[in-house]
Amino acid sequence: MTTSASTLLPDAKRRDTLRWAFGLSVGTALVPLAGCGGSDDNFATADTLPDPQTLASTGGKLSLDLDAQYASQVLTIAGAQATAYPGVAKKTATALRSFNGQYMAPTLVLAVGNTLRIKLNNKLPANVPRQSKLAYLNHQNSTNLHFHGLHVDPKEFRPGVFGDYVVDTAEGGVLPGQSRQHELTIPLDHTNGIYWYHPHLHGSSNVQVSSGMFGAIIIRDPADKFITSPEIRERVIHVHKVNLNKDGKTESFYDSVTTDTSAFLLNGAYQPTLVMRPGEVQNWHFINTASFYPFNPVLDGHTLLAYARDGNVFDRKFKPINKATSTEFGNQQWPGNAVYPGGRHSLVVKASNVPGTYFLRAALAPSSEDKEEIVARIVVEGLPMTTALPLAANLPRYADHLPITDAELASHGGKQRNLVLAILEKTSNRLPQPVPDEGWFIPAGDGVTGFLVDKVFVSGDASASAKLAPFQSSLTTTQTVALNAVEEWTINSLNDYPHPFHIHVNDSYVVRVNGEAVTPFWADTLPVPPNGSITFRMRFTDFTGKYVWHCHALDHEDLGMMQLVDVIA
């Protein structure tokens, strides 16, 4: 592949920590996101939130190499209960799997109709055998690549060229020393907004995403009139937690689930400072790249208006995000303001008119710990700004995201599926008894104790008579769907944890929560209420092939909480 040298983005002071040493294919470009301020701001306080490097398509194409490799970096790490500012933290030398030797991969900016080509090169060392008695967990250095939320082809659509292909066996995928060519064409009617990419090989996804192997994708629609002012800065913010062993590593699956979990990091920074002018308006995209924990944002003294979930804009309205709304988790508000693993929020942020120091907090949400965290400091200083807020009336509407009515559902087959996500005891009558000893559960003595031992992680038919099985089992089943069908699925949780449901390729039109009709909305990652249910409708259009639905708590997915979907013509 022909490459050219990379170029440092403008505003070097903000980006010195993100110099990106990798080759870009001819036809790519390095650009800042809209509205990025520079040294002319003359702030007295330094903005310390790192910005991911941004690569934009040119001539309708974006091509790059993405190398899976180890990287040695120093991260500032605090314990999970960072309730004060500044929190107690320490610099920690880490050696973690990465894309291109950095904590987070670049943000890729494409317009509808563009083509994205990524060559994934696995430069990780050979897999380490016998890390687990579960054979499929011994491939932590094999990998693949998922384009989370994109409506694109999931197949190997011509020899050696793959779309959003993730149905490798745990023993397969892109092995150390191998490469895989991905090519995606963004449909002309694709929703614009924030998406992301990350590894998705069953058994190694949690370790690799936990290590920082992820990057954002922004889809632009040239016809979008919602945010057009060059004064409005756009920021991509990965909200993440790490699990490190005593050597600053996350080597095995068990390292990723049995070690202490850090406080939230924003783009790899602990409690960074964001500087804004009084009255300034910015456009923030939160991506929850943590493996397990929800992020429930509250920003003191500012206006936060959510306008999209998972890249799906609301129907020409804003959702206020503040302290009062942060505790609303009823059926009509579910899941409140919280972003669960894999989910994204896009927000308009208007700084206070009063100079001073404010805090961005991670408030409590179902399944979170018993204290909130302070995750960033917002310093308001400098000359005031009078930029107008974007208008909700200018949010776009999309033909393929119109409401899915009862009539449309009935005229396209009307199939309903009732499915379940569950962590079960090995002795549960929902499992075949005796449970086959084929890697279904973690036995005692495999380096762990407590909640993992003799638990089985499953998904499948919710009917009481159906027997459930984990994804890695020979007894797992597939949801087979006809191309162009419209279906209604209900996902049930049998646990106190709100398992974040995610399906690849297609968005979900949510119509009921816990059986109660709600104002419908679109999403691609949504937590199932504890011991409750969500019901949504989907259009299976454009693409045949196999992909998956699963719990996006990636340790749950790696342990078996996933099923295949096979769309056939």
For the entire predicted model, the pTM comes to 0.93
pLDDT digit string, tens, across residues 280-339: 999 999 999 999 999 999 999 999 999 999 999 999 999 999 999 999 999 999 999 999
* Nearest-angstrom CA–CA distance, 530 and 205: 24
* Nearest-angstrom CA–CA distance, 415 and 394: 35
Q: Is the model's pLDDT at 39 over the cut of 50?
A: no
Q: What is the pLDDT of residue 17?
A: 24
Q: What is the pLDDT of residue 83?
A: 77
Q: Is the model's pLDDT at 10 over the cut of 60?
A: no
pLDDT higher at 437 or 304: 304
- What's the rounded mean pLDDT across residues 415-422? 98
pLDDT digit string, tens, across residues 512-526: 999 999 999 999 999
For the chain, give the mean pLDDT.
Answer: 91
**Pair type for strands 533-539 and 508-513:** antiparallel
Q: How many percent of the chain have pLDDT more than 90?
A: 86
Q: Is the model's pLDDT at 448 over the cut of 90?
A: no
pLDDT bucket at 9, cuts 50 / 70 / 90: very low
Query: Where are the extended beta strands (E) located within 253-400?
Result: 265-266, 273-276, 281-288, 297-299, 303-309, 312-313, 319-320, 344-350, 356-362, 373-380
* Nearest-angstrom CA–CA distance, 116 and 186: 8
Q: Is the model's pLDDT at 27 over the cut of 70?
A: no
504 contacts 549 by C-beta, under 8 angstroms: yes
Q: What is the pLDDT of residue 11?
A: 31
Q: Is the model's pLDDT at 35 over the cut of 80?
A: no
- Residue 1: which residues within 8 A CB-CB, separation 6 or more? 23, 25, 63, 65, 119
* Nearest-angstrom CA–CA distance, 236 and 34: 11
pLDDT bucket at 168, cuts 50 / 70 / 90: very high
Closest by CA to 138, choosing from 51, 202, 195, 83, is 202
Q: Is the model's pLDDT at 506 over the cut of 90?
A: yes
Q: How is residue 156 annotated by DSSP?
A: E
62 contacts 55 by C-beta, under 8 angstroms: yes
Q: What is the pLDDT of residue 82?
A: 65
pLDDT bucket at 368, cuts 50 / 70 / 90: confident
- Residue 259: which residues within 8 A CB-CB, separation 6 or more? 243, 244, 245, 250
Which amino acid does the sequence have at 51?
Answer: D
Residue 398: what are its φ and ψ, rounded to 5°? -125, 135
Closest by CA to 348, choosing from 301, 393, 284, is 284
The two structure tokens encoding residue 312: 């799906």
Q: What is the pLDDT of residue 24?
A: 38
Lowest mean pLDDT among 33-47, 63-77, 218-232, 356-370: 33-47
162 contacts 218 by C-beta, under 8 angstroms: no
- Residue 233: which residues within 8 A CB-CB, separation 6 or more? 33, 34, 35, 36, 37, 280, 282, 283
The two structure tokens encoding residue 359: 């805090």
Residue 149: what are its φ and ψ, rounded to 5°? 95, -15
Q: Is the model's pLDDT at 7 over the cut of 50?
A: no
Q: What is the pLDDT of residue 29?
A: 46
- What's the rounded mean pLDDT across residues 493-506? 97
- What is the set of domains in the chain, with CATH numbers? 3-220 (2.60.40.420), 233-396 (2.60.40.420), 402-568 (2.60.40.420)
Q: How many percent of the chain have pLDDT more than 70?
A: 92
Q: What is the pLDDT of residue 439?
A: 83
pLDDT bucket at 43, cuts 50 / 70 / 90: confident
Q: Is the model's pLDDT at 4 over the cut of 80?
A: no
Find the angle CA(134)-CA(140)-CA(145) to the nearest 5 degrees: 120
Lowest mean pLDDT among 27-31, 213-217, 306-310: 27-31
Find the angle CA(310)-CA(547)-CA(128) to the nearest 5 degrees: 100
Q: Is the model's pLDDT at 221 over the cut of 50?
A: yes
Q: Is the model's pLDDT at 444 over the cut of 80?
A: no
- What's the rounded mean pLDDT across residues 481-492? 98
The beta-carbon contacts of 414-417 under 8 Å, at least 24 apart in sequence, are 414/486, 414/487, 414/488, 415/485, 415/487, 415/488, 416/487, 416/488, 416/489, 416/490, 417/479, 417/487, 417/488, 417/489, 417/490
